[in-house]
Structure 1
Amino acid sequence: MDKAETSKAAAGRGPGFWAGLYVASSAVIAALRLTDAITATAALILFFGAMGLLIPLVRAGERQNCASPVMVRYNRRFLAASFGYVLGLGIAIGIWNTYELSGPVVFAIALLPTLPTFAMIWAMARYLVEETDEYLRYRMVRAAIISLGGVLAIGIFWGFLEMFELVPHIWAWWVLPVWAVGLGLAQLWMKVRGE
């Protein structure tokens, strides 16, 4: 091995590898669940495990892009909130499907996945406050606006299709995963374009 190969091997796999592994794992879990090969509880546990792949994904991205301390803190905060979201959602769904509940208890259970979403919003706001590089702040705001525009367009389009009974109803909490995917795609698009 020459110096470049040794250095690359020491740095570990790139973010593309971990992103591909995460997407493939999630797709397999979704396929198993859609075909009733596994229960909803098993799917949730497996999906939570697959989320563990996001940790090396974030670290590889930070290594590759020489992330600033502000971005590292943002990534850690957002990742922790994402794990809290999935865990809260799983617990809430599990309790809801297992027990007969009503009133304030249902409200409290609905807060389990909701509170981590507030942490995600806070993490982004903190990033924008802490980031001193105007260009990096601009990129994050632009990606967030592109993602928000995508969520609004999809939501409006789906809402009208649903109103005219062309598609089934979708719960509003799907806004967060769609927005998060849109945020990642917007950042990728800007990177590919060299912006």
Structure 2
Amino acid sequence: MSTETETKATGKVLGRGPVFWAVLFVAAMFGAAALSSTALEGPAGLIVRILPMALLIPLVKSAERRGMASGCVNPVIVRYNRRVLFSSFGYVLGLGIAISIWNAYEVDRVTAFALALLPTLPTFYMIWAMGRYLVEETDEYLRYRTVRAAIMSLGGVLAIGIFWGFLEMFELVPHIWAWWVLPVWAGGLGLAQLWMKVRGE
């Protein structure tokens, strides 16, 4: 009997749950960042930074198993999760390659532009995947929750960006690069969805 069949038959989720894999992923990312910034440079540091991304695969799979066990697998969300997973791998890989080349070689402006595109293009795909989810999702309640969480997260990013911008203008804080917007927005999206879930909305 396959794992999927057994899961449907018993109603039990086999293996570790999503929370376990999420905690392990966050811990591995912090550990990899600390290790690569202090002890490893070049290709070895790049590999160490990329390896924790492999934990996203069992994280997504465990969430899908839980959905199958509860009988509420949404194929639209499955496609969305896999698109975001693919773009996340592309982002980390592109960023690692771009930084490694930038640090190791003197590059001209055209090459620098190409290096900037390596992590940027996967984020464009991620944004497209988010928009595509809203187009494909037929459940109005799920679509409402996603849009509401996105607006809450966008409001947070705007508030942080405006406040930090004025602090920076008056030389109270250091300058930060503009690419922070997407990861902060994505983190805010997750927090907004968690907040709505806790409130039972």
SS in 2 for 1:96: helix
State the distance in 2 between where 1:8 and 1:27 align.
35
State the distance in 2 between where 1:10 and 1:117 align.
32
Could you tell me the TM-score, scaled by structure 2's length? 0.85
State the distance in 1 between where 2:122 and 2:198 align.
30
Moved more, 7-16 or 49-58: 7-16
Could you tell me the TM-score, scaled by structure 1's length? 0.88
Q: CA deviation at 1:10?
A: 5.5
Q: CA deviation at 1:96?
A: 1.2
Q: CA deviation at 1:156?
A: 1.5
Q: Which residue of 2 aligns with 1:56?
A: 58
* Structure 2 contact 13–66 (Cα < 8 Å) conserved: no
1:21 counterpart = 2:24: yes
SS in 1 for 2:31: helix
Q: CA deviation at 1:33?
A: 4.5
* Structure 1 contact 33–40 (Cα < 8 Å) conserved: no
- Of 165, 180, 187, the residue aligned with 2:171 is 165
SS in 1 for 2:138: coil
- Of 160, 166, 183, the residue aligned with 2:189 is 183
For structure 1, which runs of at least 5 residues remain unmatched after alignment? 1-6
Q: Which residue of 2 aligns with 1:12?
A: 15
Correspondences of 1:137-176 after superposition (within 5 Å): 137-176=143-182
Q: CA deviation at 1:78?
A: 0.8
* Structure 1 contact 92–112 (Cα < 8 Å) conserved: yes
RMSD over aligned CA atoms reads 1.9
Q: CA deviation at 1:62?
A: 2.4
Aligned AA (1:62): E
Aligned AA (1:64): R
1:98 counterpart = 2:98: no
SS in 2 for 1:168: coil
State the distance in 2 between where 1:21 and 1:105 align.
36
* Structure 2 contact 46–100 (Cα < 8 Å) conserved: no
Q: Which residue of 2 aligns with 1:85?
A: 91
1:69 counterpart = 2:72: no
